[in-house]
Amino acid sequence: MSTPVLLAIGVGGILLLLLLIVKLKVNAFLALLITSILVGLAAGIPLATIPATEDTPEKLGIIPAIIAGMGGTLGSVAILVALGSMLGRIIELSGGATSLSGRFTKLLGPRRVSGALTAAALVLAIPVFFDVGFIILVPIIYGFSHAAGLNPVKFGLPIAGVMLAVHVAVPPHPGIVGGASLLGADVGMLTLLGIAIAIPLGVLSHFVSKWINRREFPMLASTKVMFEDFGGGDDTGIGGVGPGTTMTGTLTRTEAPPSAAMILTLILTPLVMIGLGTTAATVLPAGSPARDVLGFIGAPIFALLVTVLLAGFFLGVRRGWSSAHISEVFESALPPAAIVILVTGAGGAFARILTESGIGKALADTLLSTGLPIIVLAFLVSLSLRAAQGSATVAILTTAGLLSEAVLSGGYSPIQVVVITLAIAFGALGLSHVNDSGFWVVTRYLGLSVADGLRSWTVLTTILGIVGFLLTFLVWALVGGVSA
């Protein structure tokens, strides 16, 4: 199928998805599946899988591609969302979120809370994947939002923005590490320069989010229920139950909330464990027993599971909760989480269909034929692939693969190779929209509709990506790349 036709199908698929969700109010999960099937049919993806031969690789059919895309996404997201929701639920119902947010608000003052949280998120995002870190911080976002009487998007948007910027540009995250390997970029130099550019992007995320949040975004009904239940409701409680009360469907308890230090320790525990794992993977040799052990301890699923168990003990058992009460608290976290999981998985299915159809490759090939400077080409190809198939990691790796021969044979200095790699990374930062699983994680937890998500999250990520590229281009000019 010709490139113009594939590009037209890709654009048409995204427009159809927006029409179904925004205008016709079709459930996002169903709309993603419907659009995936229609795009697959239009792009000529076979109805059944075609086995591999000596000359051609296996070609997935439409339904197997959807299953593979959903399964691949849910394999990394479902368990994390479920465990993160359980952790958030026991923190909120124990009164811990209110305790922590009240303590920080008192120390920092209401005006400084958002900036302080954004700065903390930048540091925490270095060792932790974007979706994991954001899910871990959701209870804190909700707690501070409750204390300040604000919509969670006020605090959550800048936090998510800076975390994604770090995720795409700073090792040891997989996209940037894989891209560096393909292009031969020095990882140490890449880390230092990536962090140096991420810092001003963190400041920018804070102020751009304030500008975006000048308008009030109505909260989705499903998120509103989850948010209003957080911590047992508002300061007066629900149904006459006051502060410090923990409630589930059948049990009501009243006790003093846990300390802010205890809650902060629980929040930091998985981040420290994950940090140990990623550090070990960077500094220890492959096959080292210590690396294997720390890698297991630092696996996000294991780290969150341990933290949930610790929370059950310190916030439940040690404070006199019965096993039945703790179990009910954990179970109450799962129904709201199921919505996030299913929509995120369907976003992964749509992204897989776009990849299998060849739409992303057609877009990249079109840009590669333009003859643009390598630094500009790196950004535009990555940005286009990000928009076409959703995954920032895939966009970085694919772009690095497409440009690897030109970079490796181009006689570029080590710093120039690092800058090209970062240009690819910041291309993958922009244009997060409906085919990105991260878009659904952020918008569902912050209660944004698809239209409001495009007006806020997509705008924020695109601004951060463009500014990140401009800062990278400035470094390119300083190291003599313009004349290269």
CA–CA gap between residue 38 and residue 42 (Å, rounded): 6
pLDDT tens per residue, range 66-113: 998 888 767 756 787 788 778 877 877 787 766 766 676 677 666 777
pLDDT value of position 93: 79
Q: Which residue has the tokens 């239209």?
A: 451
Locate the domains of the chain by residue range: 75-152+220-337, 153-218+358-484
Q: How far from 326 is each of 141, 225, 269, CA to CA, in Å?
A: 23, 21, 20
Q: Is 432 in a helix, a strand, or coil? A: coil
Amino acid 359 reads: I
pLDDT tens per residue, range 27-65: 778 888 998 899 999 998 998 888 877 777 788 889 999
Q: Is 66 in a helix, a strand, or coil? A: helix
Give the Cβ contact number of residue 419 at 10 Å: 27
What are residue 253's phi and psi, to 5 degrees? Answer: -135, 150
- As a whole number, mean pLDDT of residues 109-125 equals 77
Of 9-18, 90-99, 140-149, least confident by mean pLDDT is 90-99
Q: Is 59 in a helix, a strand, or coil? A: strand
Q: Which residue has the higher pLDDT, 365 or 47?
A: 47
pLDDT value of position 354: 76
Residue count (the chain): 484
User: Residue 351 burial by CB count (10 A; 0-12/13-18/19+): exposed, middle or buried?
Assistant: buried
Q: Is the pLDDT of residue 136 over 80?
A: no
pLDDT value of position 231: 54
pTM, entire model: 0.68
Q: Is 50 in a helix, a strand, or coil? A: strand
Hey, which of 241-255, 278-292, 374-388, 453-467 has the most confident mean pLDDT?
453-467
Determine which helix (DSSP H) or strand (DSSP E) holds 267, and give its type and residue range. helix 260-283
pLDDT value of position 165: 95
CA–CA gap between residue 141 and residue 258 (Å, rounded): 18
Hey, which of 252-261, 295-304, 474-483 has the most confident mean pLDDT?
295-304
**E-strand stretches of 143-300:** 245-247, 252-254
CA–CA gap between residue 73 and residue 96 (Å, rounded): 31
**Residues 175/400, Cβ–Cβ less than 8 Å:** no
- Of 414, 445, 398, which is closest to residue 155 (Cα–Cα)? 445
**E-strand stretches of 75-195:** none
Radius of gyration from C-alpha coordinates of the chain: 23
**E-strand stretches of 12-91:** none
CA–CA gap between residue 108 and residue 113 (Å, rounded): 6
pLDDT value of position 429: 94
CA–CA gap between residue 476 and residue 484 (Å, rounded): 10
Token pair of 440 as six digits: 């659904």
pLDDT tens per residue, range 150-202: 889 999 999 999 999 998 998 767 788 778 887 888 877 888 899 899 999 99
User: Residue 324 burial by CB count (10 A; 0-12/13-18/19+): exposed, middle or buried?
Assistant: exposed
pLDDT tens per residue, range 422-472: 999 999 999 998 888 889 889 999 999 999 999 999 999 999 999 999 999
| Average pLDDT in the chain | 81
